[in-house]
Structure formats: structure tokens, C-alpha cells
């Protein structure tokens, strides 16, 4: 069965970086996009960007341009989201999700809580 398993919770100080991993199984990793979506406590969903695991092409929300990097390792079917220059506003649950070329996501990871606090 399709599964996306994310890395565990992280705590960072303001100004630091965090890297979240998303390991896929149960399907051909390079056939589907990986989207990253975050959700601040008590707030709605915010799309951050996607990576095409086949080509490595990425597309980032302008809000995160220059601060986010999405990468993949096809040898282990894993995707990564690296977010730098963290502030308290980046405290959120970060999800990876399998996506189709038309943009919708049918399988989601369990979420990774990133807490930014001094």
C-alpha cells in the first residue's frame, strides 16, 4: 500500500534551518510529484511547493523563494524539504503529499511538527 513516512518532530532556534524527510513506499516514486504543505497551529493549509522526483524540477511558492529547497534521493525513494532562516512564524506541522500532474494529492504523510523557539 502507498505510504509516506515523515521524519520526527524538530525544535530549532530562530535563524536556524530544518530538513524534513518523506520516505515513500508502495508505488513508483518517480511517477508522482511530491508536494509540501504546512499548517500553523489552529490555522489552514498552506502550499509550499513541489518537486518532480523524476527530473528534480521544483516549483516553490513565492512566499518561500530563497528560503526553501526541495530535493530527492530516488535511490531510496525519499524527498526532503529544507527551510532556512526560521522564525517563530514557521512553527507548524509540515506535510508531504503525493501529487498528480494536475495538482491534487491523494496520499499524505503523517506530518512533522517543527517548533521554532528561542
Partner 1 sequence: DIQMTQSPSSLSASVGDRVTITCRASQSISSYLNWYQQKPGKAPKLLIYLASSLQSGVPSRFSGSGSGTDFTLTINSLQPEDFATYYCQQTYGIPLPITFGQGTRLEIK
Is the CB of 8 or the CB of 44 nearer to partner 1? 44
Least distance in Å: CB of 74 to partner 1?
A: 21
Least distance in Å: CB of 12 to partner 1?
A: 22
Contacting positions for partner 1 (CB under 8 A): 35, 37, 44-47, 50, 59, 61-62, 95, 97, 100-106, 108-111
Is the CB of 41 or the CB of 75 nearer to partner 1? 41
Describe the strand order of the beta sheet including 78-83 as a list of residue ranges.
3-6, 18-25, 78-83, 68-73
∠ CA 111-73-31, rounded to 5°: 80
Amino acid at each position: 500500500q502507498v505510504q509516506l513516512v515523515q521524519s520526527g518532530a524538530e525544535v530549532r532556534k530562530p535563524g536556524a534551518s530544518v530538513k524534513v524527510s518523506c520516505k515513500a513506499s508502495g508505488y513508483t516514486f518517480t511517477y508522482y510529484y511530491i508536494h509540501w504543505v504546512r499548517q500553523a497551529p489552529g490555522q489552514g493549509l498552506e502550499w509550499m511547493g513541489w518537486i518532480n522526483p523524476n527530473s528534480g524540477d521544483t516549483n516553490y511558492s513565492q512566499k518561500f523563494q530563497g528560503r526553501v529547497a526541495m530535493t530527492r534521493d530516488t535511490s531510496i525513494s525519499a524527498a526532503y524539504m529544507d527551510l532556512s532562516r526560521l522564525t517563530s512564524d514557521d512553527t507548524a506541522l509540515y506535510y508531504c503529499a503525493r501529487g498528480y500532474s494536475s495538482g491534487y494529492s491523494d496520499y499524505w504523510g503523517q506530518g512533522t511538527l517543527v517548533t521554532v523557539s528561542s
